Amino acid sequence: MNRVTMRACLGKMPEEMPEEIAEEMSEENCVAGEGSGLVPAGLRDTRITTGFVDANGLRFEVDQCGSGERLALCLHGFPEHSFSWRFQLPMLAELGYRAWAPNLRGYGASSRPEGLSAYSLEHLLEDVSALIDASGCRETVLLAHDWGAVIAWYYAMRGKRPLSKLVICNVPHPQAMSQGFSWAQLKRSWYIFFFQLPRLPEWLLSRRDGAALADVMARSAVDKRNFSAAVGEVYRRNAMQPGALTAMINYYRALVRGGGARRQRAAGLPVIDVPTLMVWGEDDVALGKETTYGTERYVSNLTLRYLPRVSHWVQQEQPEVVNAMIGHFLQDQPVPEMVWEARLRS
């Protein structure tokens, strides 16, 4: 990757970091400019710039690529960062979109309001509306992964702003999740219940300066080539900013303990009519494939593509495959399928 102007990197190096990784993440390899500075110049793509957008009373750090009147808004997940969309933004710009990947509230250099209620679904949905309004675009495509996809599913149901298309990566529709919930899925979802506890999750995740967060993706990815130690360090530094871990975990607390999911169910879960592409890595350690079954009952125009031997971090792990699927979908072309072929070797 080429360099792009960024502000000096934040955070300190963990004591056990290999010398070559520490050098790549050093202040000398991050140049002055806007943004949180969590991503070193050597990992940046010069086609992507970073700025700030004021929306819903907050300030959002936004990675941006391309221009025009069609917005492609990309929402990241936990424990991620706008950086997780680095492979998709240039592709979307080439298709004629103004591609934005904001750091959601509490992440990166975006505003970090205090309190569990600040991370309720109602606030998160309003953030999306405000970002769409701030773009000034006439059309919006919403792309989302993990927690971003939780927000996107409800956003499409509520119809707060018109969406021309919806792309969901590795999070089931809430109703399909309920229908497919099993004892096996309960065991996979243990962390959601653990995150309801006060303070203890933050303490455990921040031990050894957040070392566990540095390789959480590499540990669970099938193809680990896009999850180098330097990439993991971006996510570790993101989470280890003051107050960031609590903000990130408060998404889960507000959903369960704060009653967000209960209020959404009470409001009803109408069928989504927005044309939707659902991309699903089958080797997801947190969400079973069975939670996708029956999604077509809740989405009237659904295209579902499974990616065998791909993990939860689908758009980062297999960007060429995912980009091809998204590109075809956005251009109203048949979406290709990924197949895995077993071969014998002599």
Residues contacting 155, CB < 8 A, separation 6+: 125, 128, 142, 163
Identify whether the C-beta of residue 298 lies closer than 8 Å to the C-beta of residue 271: yes
pLDDT in tens, 185-205: 999 999 999 999 999 999 999
C-alpha closest to that of 85 among 44, 133, 131: 44
Q: Which residues pair with 98 in a beta bridge?
A: 71
pLDDT in tens, 306-344: 999 999 999 999 999 999 999 999 999 999 999 988 777
- Rounded CA-CA distance 75/101 in Å is 6
Q: Evaluate if residue 62 carries a pLDDT over 90.
A: yes
Identify whether the C-beta of residue 97 lies closer than 8 Å to the C-beta of residue 66: yes
Catalytically active residues are 146, 252, 312
Q: Is the CATH number 3.30.70.100 carried by domain 51-330?
A: no
Confidence of residue 255 (pLDDT cuts 50, 70, 90): very high
Between 281 and 2, residue with greater pLDDT = 281
Between 183 and 162, residue with greater pLDDT = 162
- Rounded CA-CA distance 96/92 in Å is 7
- Rounded CA-CA distance 173/185 in Å is 15
Confidence of residue 35 (pLDDT cuts 50, 70, 90): low
- Rounded CA-CA distance 71/136 in Å is 9
- Rounded CA-CA distance 297/300 in Å is 7
Q: Evaluate if residue 1 carries a pLDDT over 70.
A: no
Q: What is the mean pLDDT of residues 155-177?
A: 97
- Percent of residues, the chain, with pLDDT higher than 90: 85
Which DSSP letter does residue 118 get?
A: G
Cα 159 to Cα 219, 250, 274: the distances in Å are 37, 25, 9
Q: Give me the chain's average pLDDT, please.
A: 90
pTM as predicted: 0.89
Identify whether the C-beta of residue 71 lies closer than 8 Å to the C-beta of residue 87: no
- Rounded CA-CA distance 203/246 in Å is 10
Domain residue spans of the chain:
51-330
